[in-house]
Amino acid sequence: DIQMTQSPSTLAASVGDRVTITCRASQDLNNWLAWYQQKPGKAPKVLIYQASILGSGVPSRFTGSGSETEFTLTISSLQPDDFATYYCQQYGSYSTFGGGTKVEIK
């Protein structure tokens, strides 16, 4: 099984901050990675797929990068609507999610 390690688990930031979340895989994913945003009581929403392709309707302040086993989600300027929990997901072998990163208000 491919294990996904996401960091940090919690992040406190302010509106306008640049935010970076990292996901590490136990095997080379060949860019088979997606990022999701989840708000309380709601289903996740895809932000990025194939490591760096922006999902439909997703604001351009979200950027995905990385390769092989290390991937990053960056929010260039945090907006009030961005306070949420973020998950990475690998689909290189079956499917596995990272443990999540909760972005809180500082």
Partner 1 sequence: QVQLQESGPGLVKPSQTLSLTCSVSDDSIVIGSFAWSWIRQPAGKGLEWIGRIFTSGYTTYSPSLKNRVTISLDTSKRQFSLKLSSVTAADTAVYFCARTYIFDYRPAYFDSWGQGTLVAVSS
Residues found near partner 1 in the complex (CB under 8 A):
1, 32, 34, 36, 42-46, 49-50, 55, 87, 89, 91, 94-100
Our separate counts of H helices and E strands in the chain read: 0, 11
Question: How far lies 98's CA from each of 12, 29, 64, 72, in Å?
Answer: 19, 14, 15, 12
For residue 81, the minimal CB distance to partner 1 (Å) is 18
For residue 15, the minimal CB distance to partner 1 (Å) is 26
Nearest residue (CB) to partner 1, 20 versus 31: 31
| Residue among 8, 12, 7, 5 nearest 103 (CA) | 12
Please identify which residue in the block is written with the tokens 């080379």. 28
Nearest residue (CB) to partner 1, 17 versus 83: 83
Nearest residue (CB) to partner 1, 16 versus 94: 94
For residue 1, the minimal CB distance to partner 1 (Å) is 6
| Residue among 105, 101, 94, 74 nearest 3 (CA) | 94
Nearest residue (CB) to partner 1, 16 versus 43: 43
